[in-house]
Structure 1
Amino acid sequence: MEPDELRAALSAVPEPDWLDQAVRRVADEPDAVGRLFAAAGRRCGRAPLPAAPDWTADDAARVLLLTMLPADRVVGQVETLYRYGDAAEKRAVLRALPWLPIGAAAVPLLHDAIRTNDTRLVAAALGPYAGHLDAATWRQAVLKCVFMEVPLAVVDRLDERADGELEIMLAGLDEERRAAGRSIPADATALLDRLRLTTKEA
């Protein structure tokens, strides 16, 4: 969702006035973002948004707060909030990255998220900002989604970026699972089938 859509979806949070004031305050006082970011779960709630069930109210509120930071303060604040945040706060930082003026400066945060075993962070790391990941790292992240059974629907531009190397990796995993009497998830099988078809047509 775009920031304007998130703002509209947050109109029914428990304390909309608090959110409005918090957004304005971050624009005027960037150093206040830490306290407000941490308070968002308590003040806005953690319920899924009706307009976007894969987003929670605290996710959306935190993303809005980050989009209000002055450009020269974004990188430092984002790194700090991610480093010291809990899992929900880290996920909100990752989800905000596509809308922040930071270029590729936050790629190390993606690397950290992908190394975790938290499915929420791995999924958030493969959103639109993952376009900054190099091909090898991106492939490994997709394979980790398969291992962790994270739905591949979370991977931005999956069909566009999937290539022959990913096909080889998925095929190897598929063979390993079959030898053990198991299988890879259905969405991974479907991706492998599409890649194989592309290879045959090439």
Structure 2
Amino acid sequence: MQGQLLDSATVTGYEALADMLQPAAGDRVLIASVNWTEEDLREKIDFPFLFFDKETPLPIQNHYRSPNTLGLDRLAAVIGARAFVADGAVLCIDLGTCITYDFMDGSDNFQGGAISPGMGLRARAMHAFTARLPLVEPIQEVPFFLGRDTRTCMKSGIYHGVLGEIHEYIRLFTASYGKVKVFICGGDAEIFESLTKDHIFVIPNLVLYGLDRILTYNVEN
């Protein structure tokens, strides 16, 4: 069904990917990858597909000043937002290895944003670049702001630091551009579910919705 996410899965290796995609061989397929080249994929996958790269036509205008260094997932995120809001400015906050803040105005012009360390990266950095701080496990639930030992202090600093950063970027973009719809996505999105409001949406797989819209745009045009 167009516009609906029916399933998602994690695979490793060309063969596993080809097997997963085989049922869609007669349909429309788009592949985006930072690990595999288009040439390698076409050698391993024996049915037609669209490969998402910087030359792929998009349903938005890209005004990023260094487009060759722009992560395509950032574009997919803001395009995915249009599956949920038809117009107006959007800010997509992707909580992955790094946190990306990506802004698209109400005329579908991608303008850029910001990049900062993700929660896991902050944890690993504190452990790697200090003498005694431990490596804390991934944060699965909201920690109390007052840490009572080193591990809980680190978890509080990581989570509440990111939370404060999110609030500040929302404030900055709203102050500069007026009403902005905010989308939070990525691997660490669910722990920020409490931020959901009438103008803030937590949609972990937002990038997949964007890839679907990119595929549809290319098929129809």
Q: TM-score normalised by the shorter chain: which range applies? A: under 0.3
| Structure with greater helix share of residues | 1
TM-score, length basis structure 1 = 0.23
Q: TM-score, normalised by structure 2?
A: 0.22
Please identify which structure carries the higher strand content. Answer: 2
